[in-house]
Amino acid sequence: MDRGTKIYAIILGILTIALAIIFLYESPKVSELNNRLKSIAIINDFPYHFKVLRINNETAIMSSPRSTDVPVSRILGILFPQVNGLSTQSPEFQKAQKSLAKVQILARETVISDAEIKRVSWELDHSWLLQHGISL
């Protein structure tokens, strides 16, 4: 390689490493909160894994599969295949809906129990929805 090509390759390598760090970096506080969520069996064993995406000031932005754009029956049908196609009034469907709410509330309370976090804001998990065939 000539000198110009070597310099170009070095600059390109540094730029690639910098971009990887920027996109893959997770703050220690986000990691700590996500590890706390994973340590709770009810949350960790749930079919959807709630996680902290980032922190803005005292607000933790967390992922959620729920959206007003997607009927809850579609989400619950993915999380709990046994309720897929059942009436929203059926006891099994109601139980699944309560289970999702219970785990989401527990995830929120777990994150808010940290002294540095005052609020939780929910962000729709687009990638999870796409992985399960739901596009918005």
- Asked whether residue 136 is domain-assigned, the answer is no
Q: Is there a domain that residue 90 lies in?
A: yes
Measured distance CA(76)–CA(97) in Å, rounded: 7
Q: Which residue has the tokens 């703050």?
A: 27
Note whether residue 78 is domain-resident.
Answer: yes
Residue 62 has pLDDT above 70, yes or no: yes
What is the average pLDDT across 105-110? 97
For residue 99, give the CATH number of its domain.
3.30.300
Tell me if 91 is assigned to some domain. yes
* Number of domains the chain contains: 1
Q: What is the mean pLDDT of residues 24-29?
A: 73
User: What is the predicted pLDDT for the residue at 106?
Assistant: 97
In a domain, 125, yes or no: yes
Unique residue bearing structure tokens 């929203």: 88
Question: In the chain, pLDDT over 70 holds for what percent of residues?
Answer: 95
Q: Tell me if 15 is assigned to some domain.
A: no
- The confidence score (pLDDT) of residue 12 equals 85
Amino acid letter, 107? A
Measured on CA atoms in the order 77, 80, 84, 87, is the torsion positive or negative? Answer: negative
Kindly state whether residue 70 falls inside one of the protein's structural domains: yes
> What global pTM score does this model have?
0.79
Domain span at residue 66 reads: 27-131
